[in-house]
Amino acid sequence: MTIALPADAHALENGLIEIARKAGAAMMAIYQTDFEVRSKDDASPVTEADDAAEAVILPGLHALTPDVKIVSEESAAKGDVPDVNGDTDFFWLVDPLDGTKEFIKRNGEFTVNIALIAQGTPVLGVVYAPAIDKLYYGGPDGAKLIEGDLETKTTAISVRDMPADGVVVVGSRSHGDPEAMKAFLGDLAVKELRPAGSSLKLCLVAAGEADLYPRLGPTMEWDIGAGHAVLKAAGGVVENMDGSRFLYGKADFRNPFFIARSPSVPVTYQD
């Protein structure tokens, strides 16, 4: 499926990377301080860094694509959610700070997530982990990892074929059900179970450092849209537990359980 983008692809890529880096810098300025943690209505934690990053991202995206709607986690928590049609609309899907629990723990595994959704599918996205200065980008021309700023190193990334000695499975560092994971994996040969925070789990599969990420717990669309864009551009797939297409623009933006993987990894689908 070929989808015409709402702006020049090169301009979108450069603009998106610049916005993500600026949002990351705003987050890191707070990361170094004795920041306050508060709770949202759903009891999930939020910090001033979430708000600071969103304050950079929203005007940046409006300037980049003035006519494209934006669905952002922190705005949505305050009731500001544009009406989007997942079947037809372009819209930005934003998590200004994905992995707030990792931010609070100061382990570096938190990210800026920005994805462009078209007809229910992520068509480009950026995942930026400012504490470790790794930026993953996926778009029509493939996926890449950009490391460093002044001395930038850019590497094309792609999923790998299933290793002969067993797969590396990634799971949530702060969430998850070990028994459900064990039942899902069944007889699949597993070399390593690796915990990771935020949308970096999807990016590890995209970069060929892991092979499978079964998400057997609740997430929202903004948690994974950008990582999905990177994984898709790297040749990977995100699908529902029954193998059907994973779609965005749902009425409440809540995700079902899903499987993210290299296509070479066999899975047993569930009804």
Residue 247 among known ligand-binding residues: no
Smallest CA-to-CA distance from 137 within 185, 197, 199 is with 199
Q: Which residues contact 158 (CB under 8 A, 6 or more apart)?
A: 142, 143, 206, 208, 234, 235
Joined tokens for residue 192:
């390593």
Smallest CA-to-CA distance from 13 within 187, 217, 230 is with 230
Block residue for tokens 């800026």: 112
Other CB atoms within 10 A of residue 178 CB? 10
Task: Name the residue type at position 14.
Answer: N
Smallest CA-to-CA distance from 145 within 61, 214, 234 is with 234
Residue 95 among known ligand-binding residues: yes
Task: Name the residue type at position 263.
Answer: P
Residue 100 among known ligand-binding residues: yes
Exposure on the CB side of residue 72, measured as CA atoms within 13 A: 24
Residue 223 among known ligand-binding residues: yes
Residue 249 among known ligand-binding residues: no
Other CB atoms within 10 A of residue 172 CB? 20
Which residues are annotated binding-site positions for Mg(2+)? Answer: 73, 95, 97-98, 223
Q: Which residues are annotated as a binding site for substrate?
A: 73, 97-100, 223
As annotated, the binding site includes: 73, 95, 97-100, 223
